[in-house]
Amino acid sequence: MIWLDLPAAVYRSLPRTGKQGGTEMTPFYYCKKAEIHDRSGETVPAQVSIAPTGGLLVTVPRGFQYDPDSPVEIAFYDPIQGIALCRAALSAPLISDDHRSCSYRCRVLEHLAQDQRREDVKIPLSSEIGITLEETAGKDPLPVPPPEGTASLRNISAGGAYLLSKMDLQVGDRLFFYFHGAGGSIPLTAEILRIDALTDRHNRPINGYGCRFVDLASSYEARLRGYVFQKARQLYS
């Protein structure tokens, strides 16, 4: 997964198409992955394919719950169009032979937002956190106790985060911190992918660190992804 950081202004400027209609507007022919919010508020991963007769199919775990009379919000992760948040109607459920999943015809009703430059939905934040250096790029032995500091968490996704900190760190270093905004504490290890030399509001030097999460347990990733998706809906809907 490629993780790219974007400033908060980019998120606020996502194009809002607001297109509506009874025919499918965006084919997503090359899309293989999506996420749907079910009626209980959970984020459900979905596989996307094209039906033999044409049109979109989304396949979800059989326990997926939705209201047949109400549209769902679905984020398509398309390799060409980027992330597209849409409102769609699901119909004609077909249970798989092993009874573990169910496929639905998916008709896009409204295109809510799109960002062609990122692979994971991110949300802007302004949160102070404590960080601990967990591993150096060269895997050198760390002192006991390991170096600690503070950082400002500026945005987060299920794949990574962007931090501001006065700590002197290197590309490849790994940081540990807790994220407390997703219904409990989520332990996160973030590997630094890039460093930006910045200044704070008092014109003092500070470093910006673009990071990707590593070794994130699937249960924590699902909780974080659900939180980010829910917040993105509130920001962009």
**Full DSSP string of 106-172:** EEEEEEEEEETT-SS-EEEEEEEEEEEEEE-TT-PPPPSSPPEEEEEEEEEESSEEEEEESS---TT
Determine the Cα–Cα distance for residues 226 and 141; give it in Å rounded to an integer: 36
Of 171-180, 208-217, 223-232, give the lowest mean pLDDT range.
223-232
Q: Does the pLDDT of residue 23 top 50, yes or no?
A: no
CATH code for residues 122-236: 2.40.10.220
Q: Does the pLDDT of residue 211 top 50, yes or no?
A: yes
Contact 114, 84 (CB under 8 A): yes
103-133 pLDDT, tens digit per residue, is 999 999 988 877 654 456 778 888 999 999 9
Give CA 204 to chain center in angstroms. Answer: 31
**Confidence (pLDDT) at 27:** 66
Q: What is the 3-state secondary structure (H, E, C) of 48-84?
A: EEECCCCCEEEEEECCCCCCCCCCEEEEEEECCCEEE
Give CA 2 to chain center in angstroms. Answer: 12
CATH architecture, domain 14-115: Beta Barrel (2.40)
**Confidence (pLDDT) at 162:** 94
Q: Does the pLDDT of residue 143 top 90, yes or no?
A: no
The predicted model scores a pTM of 0.55
**Confidence (pLDDT) at 25:** 43
Q: What is the mean pLDDT of the chain?
A: 81
**Confidence (pLDDT) at 160:** 93
183/195: higher pLDDT: 195
Determine the Cα–Cα distance for residues 15 and 236; give it in Å rounded to an integer: 10
Determine the Cα–Cα distance for residues 36 and 50; give it in Å rounded to an integer: 17
51-104 pLDDT, tens digit per residue, is 888 889 999 998 888 888 889 999 888 766 778 888 999 999 999 999 899 999
Determine the Cα–Cα distance for residues 113 and 123; give it in Å rounded to an integer: 14
Same fold, 14-115 and 122-236: yes
Q: Does the pLDDT of residue 26 top 60, yes or no?
A: no
**Confidence (pLDDT) at 119:** 55
Determine the Cα–Cα distance for residues 141 and 133; give it in Å rounded to an integer: 11
**Given the structure tokens 């939905």, which residue do they identify?**
121
What ranges do the domains of the chain cover?
A: 14-115, 122-236
Query: Phi and psi for 224 in degrees, rounded to 5?
Result: -65, -40
